[in-house]
């Protein structure tokens, strides 16, 4: 079988050529490591029990986004996801009082803000 052609390393600013399957040169192999061993949704706590809880919350909130921004603006958006009001990383739980239906775009914005806040700690 012929050898794989050389390709530029995927690490930003690296000009090394590599044949590695993950696209990183030998010096930047560690950059690929975090994504190789990701957990399944069930391993992260979002298995069958979460799916049932999610359905309960979406029904309870009538499938309408209940995020703070939509409530403040009086905006009505279809909710397709369930959000932890107090994130699990900050001590929140899967208790129904800590969950609300949320629109995908609103959830993305809230998650980005939480991640930024976490990086600042």
Give a yes or no: residue 40 inside a domain: no
CA distance 7 to 21: 10
Give a yes or no: residue 70 inside a domain: yes
List of long-range contacts for 88-96, beta carbons under 8 Å, 24+ apart: 88/45, 89/114, 89/118, 90/114, 94/45, 94/50, 94/53, 96/53, 96/56, 96/57, 96/60
Give a yes or no: residue 1 inside a domain: no
Tell whether 22 and 56 lie within a shared domain. no
Range of the domain at 94: 48-120
Give a yes or no: residue 39 inside a domain: no
pTM of the predicted structure, to 2 decimals = 0.65
Give a yes or no: residue 43 inside a domain: no
Q: The tokens 């079988």 sit on which residue? A: 1
- As averages over each run of 10 residues, the pLDDT of the chain (121 residues) reads 83 88 85 65 86 96 96 96 92 95 96 88 65
Give a yes or no: residue 28 inside a domain: yes
Per the document, the length of the chain is 121
Tell whether 65 and 92 lie within a shared domain. yes
Q: How many domains does the chain have?
A: 2
């Amino acid at each position: 079988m012929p050898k794989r052609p050389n390709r530029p390393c995927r690490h930003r600013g690296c000009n090394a050529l590599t044949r590695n399957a993950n696209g990183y040169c030998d010096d930047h192999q560690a950059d690929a490591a975090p994504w190789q061993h990701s957990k399944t949704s069930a391993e992260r706590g979002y298995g069958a029990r979460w799916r049932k809880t999610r359905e309960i919350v979406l029904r309870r909130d009538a499938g309408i986004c209940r995020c703070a921004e939509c409530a403040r603006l009086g905006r009505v958006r279809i909710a397709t996801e369930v959000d932890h009001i107090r994130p699990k990383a900050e001590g929140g739980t899967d208790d129904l009082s800590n969950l609300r239906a949320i629109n995908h775009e609103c959830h993305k914005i809230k998650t980005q803000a939480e991640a930024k806040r976490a990086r600042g700690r």
